[in-house]
């Protein structure tokens, strides 16, 4: 028995020594709260309230060559399903390479910059509660993608993304450039060929500009999605303005239009939204009121949507 104890203690000591040699860390953070959504276009008899919960795991370690490797994964909702996951290799002036396993972590420039107009809560077109609205651009899915980012030039950021081909579709590539070299000004442009649907390639382009002056921020967005599928092209335009009432309170107003290809026999989707946000320590309250006409081009589908979020960070 004593020999077994010695063996066990020796093994434990070896494990502790090995672990201490790894210069890494793992942090856990989370949020808890409630979301209310009232959507005039949907009456399914369900609750308008939902649990707003996330648990996020972040780990990092520095390599001997100065590179930093980091990992992120989170689970969301009361069912604790996987939300976003990725790992990064930060190579300093050589840029950062990400492999995104799941979620919006895999968005390249097109997906990340699909609507950069300022909003205190949701964008004007983004109606919750099973919306069914047409979004600003038909970007690639975020799973299993490589994203490279380089900001070594002051005021300039370059993003390149690549999603490998699979059995049913070719690879997807995209890229974008962002300029922030003038005080208050932010401008970005990106392009991407979305090949994730076989035989229906979608060429996406996005352009945005934002300017902040004192407490005001104004923004403009213009996107196009050109599809190989007949009558599936869309054009998206949006603008927004926000005002920081104080360090804790902001309000915003935004408007957007989605124009469908004439042969699609669809009406323009038009949306407006008024938003507000308030923070108090670890607590935040955000809300927005949306009015959207011709949802997804359907002339008989007009909706009013209210969303309120109460969130606590820990």
Domains and CATH numbers, the chain: 23-313 (2.40.160.10)
pLDDT of 178 reads 98
pLDDT of 280 reads 95
Residues 158-189 pLDDT 10s: 999 998 888 878 888 999 999 999 999 999 99
Residues 14-30 pLDDT 10s: 333 433 445 578 899 99
Average pLDDT, the chain: 87
Mean pLDDT of 73-94: 86
Question: pLDDT > 90: what percent of the chain?
Answer: 63
**Alpha-carbon span 254 to 208, nearest angstrom:** 14
Greater pLDDT, 85 or 83: 85
Indicate the pTM of the whole model. Answer: 0.85
Residues 250-304 pLDDT 10s: 999 999 999 999 777 899 999 999 999 999 999 999 999 999 999 999 999 999 9
What does the block give as tokens for 202? 């979608």
pLDDT of 129 reads 63
**Alpha-carbon span 243 to 304, nearest angstrom:** 23
Q: Which of 42-51, 75-84, 125-134, 236-245 has the lowest mean pLDDT?
A: 42-51
pLDDT of 262 reads 76
Q: Which of 1-10, 39-48, 239-248 has the lowest mean pLDDT?
A: 1-10
pLDDT of 141 reads 67
Residue of 254, 228, 241 whose CA lies nearest to 136: 254
Residue of 245, 250, 292, 286 whose CA lies nearest to 273: 292
Mean pLDDT of 23-52: 81
């Amino acid at each position: 028995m004593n020999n077994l104890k010695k063996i066990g203690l020796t093994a434990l000591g070896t494990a502790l020594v090995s672990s201490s040699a790894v210069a890494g860390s793992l942090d856990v953070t989370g949020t808890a709260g409630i979301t209310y959504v009232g959507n005039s276009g949907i009456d399914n008899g369900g609750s308008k309230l939902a649990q707003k919960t996330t648990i996020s795991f972040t780990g990092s370690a520095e390599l001997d060559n100065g590179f930093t490797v980091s990992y992120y994964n989170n689970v969301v909702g009361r069912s604790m399903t996987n939300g976003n996951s990725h790992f990064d290799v930060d190579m300093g002036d050589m840029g950062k390479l990400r492999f995104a396993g799941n979620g919006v972590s895999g968005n390249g420039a097109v997906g990340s910059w699909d609507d950069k107009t300022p909003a205190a809560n949701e964008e004007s077109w983004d109606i919750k509660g099973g919306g069914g609205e047409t979004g600003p651009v038909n970007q690639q899915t975020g799973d299993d993608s490589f994203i490279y980012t380089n900001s070594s030039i002051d005021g300039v950021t370059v993003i390149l993304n690549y999603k490998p081909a699979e059995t049913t579709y070719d690879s997807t590539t995209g890229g974008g450039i962002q300029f922030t070299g003038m005080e208050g000004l932010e401008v970005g442009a990106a392009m991407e060929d979305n090949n994730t649907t076989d035989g229906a390639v979608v060429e996406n382009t996005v352009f945005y500009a934002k300017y902040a002056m004192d407490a005001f921020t104004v923004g403009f967005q213009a996107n196009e999605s050109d599809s190989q599928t007949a009558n599936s092209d869309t054009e998206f335009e949006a603008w927004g303005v926000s005002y920081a009432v104080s360090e804790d309170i902001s309000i915003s107003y935004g408007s957007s239009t989605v124009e469908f290809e004439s042969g699609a026999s669809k009406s323009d989707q038009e949306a407006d939204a008024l938003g507000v946000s308030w923070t108090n320590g670890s607590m935040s309250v955000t809300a927005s009121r949306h009015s959207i006409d011709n949802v997804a081009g359907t002339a008989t589908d007009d909706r009013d949507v209210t969303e309120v979020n109460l969130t606590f960070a820990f």
